[in-house]
Amino acid sequence: MTTAPSTTTDEAPRPPAPAPAKSAWAGLRPLVLRLHFYAGVLVAPFLLVAAVTGLLYAASFQAEKIVYDRELTVPVGERELPVSAQVAAARKAHPEGTVAAVRPSPEPDATTRVMLSGTPGVDPGHTLAVFVDPYTGEVRGALEQYGSTGALPLRTWIDEFHRDLHLGEPGRLYSEFAASWLWVIAGGGLVLWFSRRRALRTVRGTGGRRRTLALHGGVGAWAAAGFIFLSATGLTWSAHAGASIGDLRAALGQETPSVSAAATGEHAGHDSAAATAGDAAHGVGLDKVLAAARAEGLGDPVEIVPPADAGSAYVVQQIQRSWPEKQDSVAVDPATGQVTDVLRFADYPVLAKLTRWGIDLHTGILFGLVNQLALMALALALILLILWGYRMWWQRGRGSGFGKPIPRGAWQQVPPYVLVPLLALIAVLGYFVPLLGIPLAVFLAVDIVLGEIAHRRGLRTNASGTTAR
């Protein structure tokens, strides 16, 4: 009797490809879950730093009022001195540098700020704010100031820590990386949470990893909209994505406009001596310039910027960033005291307004204390979510048995009619938000490579077992 020779193979057959998904979501869910898990693990340290520093920044507005009470407030007097007299008092105490701007007292108990640029010992990007009692002319102090919101040293330090960890431009990559991924992680978690059965979303009566998951998902679902908003608005002034957003706004004609500061009076250009005096006493002077701006409806708070040179005008602009926004501005000819240009916030392009509101809401200014408390709540929620996320990872590693790791190759289950548009969307996002697109491409490449390595190891193991038999 003849028998067929037995054959052995050195390579086990490749497992069949994953079965086609029953629906687009059934195929997409494993990929979203895997991306949410690994992005959360790897990005969470950056998000944790952003959340802690953001919490401190939201609290810094109220802390600033306490720490710098002497500089910011004065007893209410009977009659305010002319703005020019207040500036003269500031210049007498601090003759160094040049006057960059003046912010007249916006409230009866508030000081006037005279900002000096080019002063020794002050960061070139900052100004020295001299605080003057508007009733007596007493100089109440001088502090370094940063930005259009008038941040003083405490808030400036926290702001820069939140933005770049005090590392300068290289440090901005951390905050942009966190902002680029926050919306992806929040959005993915939100979709995953609402796709789960209601029983698995219940906290009461559960324990272990399931309870942690319920807390993580429940808080995340409530806070997701806030996280997505913070991510989108944070990217508007980031280094790389912010530049892309700026280019897009320019292409659409939605840039933030500015009032024309060109002087048009018959004596424009004839006041060069005053233009270089550094005391803001150009032409008609600060008091008439402020009166001209008031006549155009510019109420407090305002900032007066002296002419940049002999051919420029004064610029008076409203600086209220709380609701309702007051951002109107006018240019005043220093020779005649006449208003030469007017720009109303109501005339801003739509995207310029949305950007202004979004940034002010992100920084806790738009709705004052309520806004700041909401930001603190979001920061605390993000800190808790990160801690719960790592706890779930730890509980999974200790063999709790609840929830199995998503296998590699989940992307293969996504139907082509979903996968192709998804890849196109990722490519577009990667172009405009490089700190999202580049890491995402690396993640997919590494995931595929590791999956192939695991597959080949499995083949060798199977081949060894077959040979031994």
pLDDT, one tens digit per residue, over 182-204 is 999 999 999 888 887 665 556 66
Contact 74/110 with Cβ under 8 angstroms?
A: yes
Stretch 257-285: mean pLDDT, rounded? 64
In a domain, 353, yes or no: no
Regarding whether 279 and 238 lie in a shared domain, the answer is no
* Under 8 Å between Cβ of 438 and 430: yes
**Domain end position, chosen among 151, 179, 211:** 151
For the residues 339-358, what does the mean pLDDT come to? 96
Using 50, 70 and 90 to split pLDDT, how confident is the model at 10?
Answer: very low
Report the sign of the C-alpha dihedral through residues 16, 17, 18, 21, in that order.
Answer: negative
pLDDT of residue 24: 67
Question: Rounded to the nearest 5°, which phi and psi values hold at 261?
Answer: -100, 15
Q: Are residues 455 and 372 part of one domain?
A: yes
- Could you tell me what percent of the chain has a pLDDT over 90? 60
Average pLDDT over residues 22-35: 74
216 and 287 belong to one structural domain: no
Residue 146 belongs to a domain: yes
pLDDT for position 9: 41
Same domain as 173, residue 54: yes
Beta bridge partners of residue 303, listed in sequence order: 317
pLDDT in tens, 135-165: 999 999 999 999 999 999 999 999 999 999 9
pLDDT-derived band of residue 4, with 50, 70 and 90 as boundaries?
Answer: very low
Cα(80)–Cα(137) distance, integer angstroms:
9
Please say if the pLDDT value at position 265 is more than 60: no
Q: Across residues 64-79, what is the average pLDDT?
A: 97
Are 268 and 329 members of one domain? yes
Q: How many domains does the chain have?
A: 3
Q: Mean per-residue pLDDT for 67-96?
A: 97
Gap between the Cα atoms of 187 and 191, Å rounded: 6
Output the pLDDT for position 419: 74
**What pLDDT, in 10s, does the model give residues 299-340?**
999 999 999 888 899 999 999 999 999 999 999 999 999 999
Last residue of a domain, one of 96, 123, 151: 151
Give me the domain span that covers residue 385.
24-60+165-249+368-461
Contact assessment for residue 172 and residue 64, using Cβ atoms and an 8 Å cutoff: no
- Domain identity same for 396 and 341: no
450 within a domain of the structure (yes/no): yes
| Residue carrying the six token digits 């938000």 | 433
pTM of the model: 0.85
Share above pLDDT 70 across residues of the chain, in percent, rounded to a whole number: 80
Tokens linked to 250: 């320019």
Distance CA(321)–CA(337), nearest Å, equals: 27
Q: Is residue 324 domain-shared with residue 453, that is, in the same domain?
A: no
**Domain CATH code at residue 111:** 3.10.450
Amino acid at 281: A
Q: Are residues 388 and 436 in the same domain?
A: yes
Residue 253 φ/ψ region, left for φ over 0, alpha for ψ in the -120 to 50 degree band, beta for the rest: left
For the cut 60, the answer to whether the pLDDT of residue 5 exceeds it is no
Domain boundary (89, 118, 151) is at 151
Query: Do 374 and 456 have their domain in common?
Result: yes
Between 21 and 356, name the one with better pLDDT. Answer: 356
Same domain, 391 and 426: yes
Q: Examine the domain organization and report whether 50 and 169 are in the same domain.
A: yes
Does any domain span residue 466? no
Report which of 90, 28, 152, 101 is spatially closest to residue 422, judged by C-alpha positions: 28
The string over 437-466, giving b where at least 16 C-beta atoms fall within 10 Å of a residue's C-beta and e elsewhere, is bebbeeeeeebeeebeeeeeeebeeeeeee
Q: Is position 117 within any domain?
A: yes
Q: What is the pLDDT of residues 236-264, one digit of tens each?
A: 888 888 888 899 899 999 999 999 998 76
Closest-CA residue to 76 (of 35, 135, 121):
135
Instruction: Report pLDDT for 275.
Output: 42
Residue 183 lies in a domain: yes
For 44, 346, 347, the CA distances from 186, given in Å and listed in that order, are 12, 34, 35
Say how far apart CA 422 and CA 427 lie, in whole Å: 9
Taking Cα atoms as reference points, which of 290, 292, 284, 322 lies closest to residue 304?
Answer: 290
Contact (Cβ atoms closer than 8 angstroms) between residue 196 and residue 203: no
Residue 12 has pLDDT above 80, yes or no: no
Q: Is a pLDDT exceeding 90 seen at residue 345?
A: yes
**For the purposes of burial, counting CB atoms within 10 Å of the CB of 469, is it exposed (0-12), middle (13-18) or buried (19 or more)?**
exposed
Could you give the 3-state DSSP secondary structure of residue 170? helix
DSSP state of 412: G
> 428 and 34 in contact (C-beta within 8 Å)?
no
Sign of CA dihedral 340, 343, 349, 354: positive
pLDDT average, residue stretch 108-112: 98
pLDDT at 41: 86
145 located within any domain: yes
Query: By mean pLDDT, which of 90-94, 161-165, 194-198, 208-212 is the weakest?
Result: 194-198
d(CA 268, CA 312) in angstroms, rounded, equals 8
**Do 297 and 268 lie in a common domain?**
yes
Residue 446 is assigned to a structural domain of this protein: yes
Q: How far apart are CA 245 and CA 10, in angstroms?
A: 55
